[in-house]
Amino acid sequence: MSKNTPGPSRAFEIQVPCIVFLITTPAFVAIRLWSRAKSKSSLGWDDWTILVSSMFAVIVMALMLAACTYGFGQHIANITTPHRLMTMKLFFVSQAFYKLTMNMTKMSILILYLRIFIQRWFRITCYVLLVIITSYMVGAFFASVFQCTPVARAWNKNIPGSCIDITTNWYANAGFSIATDIIILTLSMYPLYKSKIILKRKIALMIVFALGAFVVVTSIVRMQTLDFSSTSPDPTYDIASSVWTMLEENVAITCACLPMMWMPLARLFPSFFSLDSGTDSHGSSGARSSELKATSRPRSDWSRFSAYPDTKGSIGMNQTGDSQNRPSEDSTGQILPSCQGGEAQYQNATGITKVTEYRVSFSNTKSPSGPIDA
């Protein structure tokens, strides 16, 4: 702002990552949704949740860019009083949306887990985590909004009133975020490790899911800056925590999108991510892992017999046979089998189970070579 006193500014430290992520984050979300559409699968709750989370992330970045136009990044003594108040107000609002985007990203990952893992203990753990994270998100949002009484004292300390300990609040939020990130990151590793899928694909999957470790790293680094930023007498210039806030929320969304981007990854790294035929970790053909169990029938003459996967079936990673004439499949099924529909009968299964529904048709005309036993 021209009315501010000229001086050093660190605004570019906010502006550069914001501009970069305003391009890359929506792009990753768009590719994820494109992958869903390409597989002719409807969007799931995990997709809607990450879409809303990305919108909140864009709001956070837009607010921070707006704050920079008023003087965020400059020494507070060089900013005029009206601009300083507007800067702090925009920063205050962005903190509330930051709480929403971080927790909604975690919720999206857990909902994705519920689509592809069917173990009873795993699903119960996901539901418990969803309740905890959702409750915390609501509590953290209102704690951020009503951190001061009156609310306006949050950005104008000249107003009489009181505020909670901001440093303690920020540390508590960071601690919860890191703890839940680690739990979510490690939760999927065991069922992936125990799965009977092609070894190289198992490794590729574990690497993709393990990329969430970058979020943990950014959260830990951000935590190191909280005490300095929250107690600084020059909050508009000491902006290290704000820089890491931008990185943390956008890296989280990007990592949450990667597991659903199997088709783009298969084109970039076909040796690891392709859906071509191969053998599983036990050396048997993946296509043989799917069995057709038919009810015993009396002797009859079948001239034609056809069995094909129902469109509701999950074409999972244990099925790596001929992909020709493959029906429309959920893009989740390209990672691991989907557990939608009829999941109750498989909840006591161990490892990762592939479920395929079949339709069978036959006619009772004689075969040229004689009758065929059913």
Give the integer Cα–Cα distance in Å for 123 and 125. Answer: 5
- Please tell me whether the peptide bond between 150 and the residue prior to it is cis, using omega within 30 degrees of 0: yes
Give the integer Cα–Cα distance in Å for 133 and 125. Answer: 12
Higher per-residue confidence, 271 vs 63: 63
Phi, psi of 363 (to 5 degrees): -130, 150
Give the torsion sign (CA, 93, 95, 99, 105).
positive
Phi, psi of 229 (to 5 degrees): -70, -35
Residue 322 lies in a domain: no
Query: How confident is the model at residue 216, as a pLDDT?
Result: 87
Residues 6+ apart with CB under 8 A from 200: 271, 272
Give the integer Cα–Cα distance in Å for 207 and 186. Answer: 12
The answer to whether 191 and 185 have CB atoms below 8 angstroms apart is no
DSSP 8-state secondary structure symbol assigned to residue 309? E
Domain extent at residue 134: 11-258
Q: How many other C-beta atoms can be found within 10 angstroms of the C-beta atom of residue 311? A: 12
Q: What is the mean pLDDT of residues 34-38?
A: 79
Query: How confident is the model at residue 314, as a pLDDT?
Result: 32
Query: How confident is the model at residue 333, as a pLDDT?
Result: 43
Higher per-residue confidence, 115 vs 270: 115
**Tokens 């136009």 -> residue:** 69
Residue 145 lies in a domain: yes
Minimum mean pLDDT among 158-162, 163-167, 230-234: which range?
230-234
Residue 326 lies in a domain: no
pLDDT per position as a tens digit, 216-249: 888 888 888 888 888 888 899 988 889 999 999 9
Query: How confident is the model at residue 295, as a pLDDT?
Result: 35
The answer to whether 340 and 359 have CB atoms below 8 angstroms apart is no
The answer to whether 21 and 250 have CB atoms below 8 angstroms apart is yes
Q: What is the mean pLDDT of the chain?
A: 75
Residue 318 lies in a domain: no
Count of structural domains, the chain:
1
Query: At residue 266, does pLDDT exceed 90?
Result: no
**Amino acid letter for position 188:** S
Residue 342 lies in a domain: no
Query: How confident is the model at residue 363, as a pLDDT?
Result: 66
Query: How confident is the model at residue 343, as a pLDDT?
Result: 44
Confidence of residue 358 (pLDDT cuts 50, 70, 90): low
Question: Considering only CA atoms, which of 188, 236, 294 is closest in space to residue 73?
Answer: 236
Residue 367 lies in a domain: no
pLDDT per position as a tens digit, 98-154: 999 999 999 999 998 888 888 888 999 999 999 999 999 999 999 999 999 999 999
Q: What is the CATH number of the domain that holds 52?
A: 1.20.1070
Residue 273 lies in a domain: no
Two tokens at 160? Answer: 């009489």
